[in-house]
Structure formats: C-alpha cells, structure tokens
C-alpha cells in the first residue's frame, strides 16, 4: 500500500489562485448573481481550474488538508475560501504574515502530525527551503496546483517514506 501523508498543506497565492490577494485584487469580494466571484472593482476572481478536484481527491483518500499563507490580507483570503466553497476541505487555516515555519509549528501542535508525515505545496522557493528544513516533504509548484502535480507530489512523499 502506498504511504499517504497525514496532512496536506497548501499555500494560497499562486498555488490555489493566480494572484496575490493583498495587492492584485481589491477586497471585499462578493458572488454575482451568475455565480462569478468578483472583487470590489468588479474584476472576475478565479481559482486555478483543478483546485476543487485536487482537494476532492485528497479528501477521498482520507488525507486532511490545511492552508498556510503569509498574506497580510487575512480577511480577504478567508472570504475567498468561503466564496469558492473551499472552507469545507480545510481542517486548519493558518493565514498571517511571518515565516512559514511558524505556520507549520502551529499545524503540528494543532494536529499532532509530525513534520515527516506532512506534504506542502507552495510556489515560492524561500518557503520551500524554510519548511523543508523542518522535514516536511515540499513540492515547489509552477502555474498553480493541478491533479498531475498532486499525483507527483504524493509519489515523492511515498519515496521519502520508503527510504526512511
Ligand atoms: Mg504563494
């Protein structure tokens, strides 16, 4: 049986959606009558297209999911997760500025899952480096999360377990 992580953690900006929520868009957000999420200026806001499927896949595998973001736009980020109906997937949301090491220390404390049993997806190299030092399997992503990257990440995680 392929070993699965006991916690999957996702960055938000440029991992779940293609913008920085603190600078590229204007909160507050709302859902239009046609179901489109828009910002204060009426700009369309979208996720990377496979995000719901990625989170569904993990949920069906029984892997709990958390968010870890360094954004200063805490309300806006949480509002987007609500408007996109993603809150139901996340057992924990750590959204505040600072080193991501702090976010992961809190996740370990809250879940009891050791770093070696976590997988983390992020687009920024500095976060990958910082969190990787903790012993978390870190997957550096480009162009947002998708099903292929998820599958490759889970394979990478399984190899770390085989080698330990
Ligand atoms: Mg990011």
Catalytic option among 13, 39, 123, 130: 13
Predicted pLDDT at 58: 98
When the candidates are 3.90.70.10, 3.40.50.300, 3.40.50.1000, 3.40.50.1240, the CATH number that belongs to 7-162 is 3.40.50.1000
| 87-119 residue pLDDT tens | 999 999 999 999 999 999 999 999 999 999 999
- The alpha carbon of 15 and the centre of ligand 1 are apart by a number of angstroms equal to 6
- Dihedral in degrees, nearest 10, Cα atoms 58, 121, 105, 156: 80
List b or e across 112-149, with b for residues whose CB sees 16 or more CB atoms inside 10 angstroms. ebebebbbbbbbbeebbebbeebebbbbbbeebbbeeb
- pLDDT above 90 for 46: yes
If you average pLDDT over residues 41-58, what whole number do you get? Answer: 97
Residue 56 is a catalytic residue: no
The Cα-based distances of 36 to 45, 97, 144 in angstroms read 7, 28, 20
Nearest CA among 112, 111, 154, 115 for reference residue 131: 115
Instruction: Spot the catalytic one: 11, 39, 122, 123.
Output: 11
Are the C-beta atoms of 141 and 15 separated by less than 8 Å? yes
The one-character DSSP state at 49 is T
| For range 56-83, the mean pLDDT | 98
Domain borders along the chain are: 7-162
Give distance in angstroms: CA of 5 to centre of ligand 1. 21
Q: Which residues surround ligand 1, an ion (CB under 5 A)?
A: 11, 13-14, 123
State yes or no: pLDDT of 164 exceeds 70.
Answer: no
The residue-averaged pLDDT of 143-163 equals 95
pTM of the model: 0.97
Contact between residue 111 and residue 64 where contact means Cβ atoms under 8 Å apart: yes
């Amino acid at each position: 049986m392929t070993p699965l992580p006991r916690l999957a953690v996702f960055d938000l900006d440029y991992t779940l959606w293609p913008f920085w929520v603190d600078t590229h868009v204007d909160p507050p957000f709302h859902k239009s009558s046609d179901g489109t999420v828009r910002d204060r200026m009426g700009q369309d806001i979208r996720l990377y297209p496979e995000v719901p499927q990625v989170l569904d896949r993990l949920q069906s595998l029984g892997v709990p999911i958390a968010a870890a973001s360094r954004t200063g736009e805490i309300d806006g980020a949480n509002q987007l997760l609500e408007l996109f109906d993603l809150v139901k997937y996340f057992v924990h949301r750590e959204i505040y500025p600072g080193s991501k090491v702090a976010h992961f220390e809190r996740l370990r404390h809250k879940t009891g899952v050791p770093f070696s049993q976590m997988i983390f997806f992020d687009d920024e190299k500095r976060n990958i480096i910082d969190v990787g030092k903790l012993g978390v399997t870190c997957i550096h992503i480009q162009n947002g999360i998708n099903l292929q990257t998820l599958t490759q990440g889970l394979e990478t995680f399984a190899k770390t377990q085989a080698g330990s």
